[in-house]
Chains A and B, each alone.
Chain A
């Protein structure tokens, strides 16, 4: 096999490392630039296409479990019609962090191919592990995805219920707690929480 491919590879390598004889530097530079722009545009278009709710709920694992639970919460339906989609909370908005998360997500492609959570029972068995990943991520980045919308500087405590204002003043202002410490299970149902601190 290798013996047959080897001359092809050798020819290709020789062509690749030889300076151009017929094409001008300008043509190669400009051509490379245009090809680069086209490639970059296509790459980002494809990346953003995977960053939509339609893409996430394209698989029954997400559509039949977590998406159904989201629908009953205030992050899906509320008085003002502003809503959060899957990537708003589960994918960082910054480019570098987004690419890092997308590379991590290759594990999820593996899970999809091998059916790690392809039945309701398997999903419920894995729910605690999956939830713990998200809690750890949000704890580590100080609930960045919450704060993308819920900016503390713009939070008017006087318009909250007295109870909420008191607790936010006591724990959030001082930085002792971050959003996810108390607000677990606001968008999806909680797994068995025995022994897990919630607040």
Chain B
């Protein structure tokens, strides 16, 4: 029985290692599972607040308070469904000559900060050919003294200060804007 200590040591080592590993695994696994149960259970148990029925809203352009959609001031109206960003990649006309063109695609999670500018990845002069994107206008490379710079001018760096996406939201108020071409052709017709 000279092997006895060896067998004892080996047995104890195996049992201890297995026990530690299983306990660790079980603990982590259980905490994960119970967490997901709680997440699933939450929305079912939370009662939905009854949405007050919105009174018939007057047609756009005639109502006084477009933002409240005719809901009395003492009540809270149901939130309107969120509008979707138009992602058709078809360029839109400008409504007036100096209008910054609108963005015809979604820009979710585009990072524009001092570290990186996602728009310029495609729209910078140097990259426009790779992605077949319209390069930004030369005016964006000019400083305020009309001197041309090699890179985008700092005052033009934050694209979405002027360029915005368009959504399929219905206009809250009517718009009677006519662009200059319409006005001119109407004047000529009269």
Q: Which residues of A contact B (CB under 8 A)?
A: 12, 15-16, 18, 20-23, 35, 38-39, 41-43, 45-46, 48-49, 52, 54-55, 72-74, 161-163, 166-167, 182, 185-186, 189-193, 198-199
Task: Tell yes or no: B18 within 8 A of A by CB.
Answer: yes
Please give the distance in Å from B46's CB to the nearest CB on chain A.
Answer: 18
How many A-B pairs have beta carbons closer than 8 Å: the answer is: 88
B residues 130-171 with Cβ under 8 Å of A? 130-132
A49 to B21, CA, bound (A): 9
Bound CA span A134–B110, Å:
20
B3 touches A21 (CB 8 A): yes
Among A35, A73, A199, the residue within 8 A (CB) of B130 is: A199
Q: How far is the CA of A182 from the CA of B25 in the complex (A)?
A: 38
- For B122, list chain A residues within 8 Å (CB): 199
| In the bound complex, CA of A35 to CA of B116 (Å) | 54
A66 CB to closest chain B CB, in angstroms?
14
Binding site for A on B (CB under 8 A): 1-3, 5-7, 10, 14, 17-18, 20-22, 24-25, 28-29, 31-32, 35, 87-89, 105-106, 108-109, 111, 114-116, 118, 121-122, 127, 130-132
A50 to chain B, nearest CB (A): 9
Q: Are B28 and A49 in contact (CB under 8 A)?
A: yes
Contacts of B18 in A (CB 8 A): 38-39, 41-42
* CB proximity of A18 to chain B, nearest CB, Å: 7
* A-B residue pairs in contact (CB < 8 Å), sample of 17: A12-B6, A20-B3, A23-B3, A41-B18, A42-B21, A45-B21, A46-B24, A49-B25, A49-B28, A54-B35, A74-B108, A161-B105, A163-B131, A185-B116, A190-B115, A191-B115, A199-B130
Q: Contact check: which of B14, B29, B108, B132 meets A166 at CB < 8 Å?
A: B132
Is the Cβ of B1 less than 8 Å from the Cβ of A22? yes
Q: Are A52 and B32 in contact (CB under 8 A)?
A: yes
**Other-chain contact of A185, B21, B106, B108, B111 (Cβ < 8 Å):** B111
Closest to B14 in A: A35
In the assembly, what is the distance between CA of A23 and CA of B10, in Å?
14
CA distance A16 to B130 in the complex (A): 68
Chain A residues with CB under 8 Å of B3's CB are 15, 18, 20-23
- Asked whether, in the complex, the Cβ of A18 is within 8 Å of the Cβ of B2, the reply is yes
**Chain B positions within 8 Å of A16 at CB level:** 6
How far in angstroms is the closest Cβ of chain B from A5?
15
Complex Cα distance, B21 from A122, in Å, reads 33
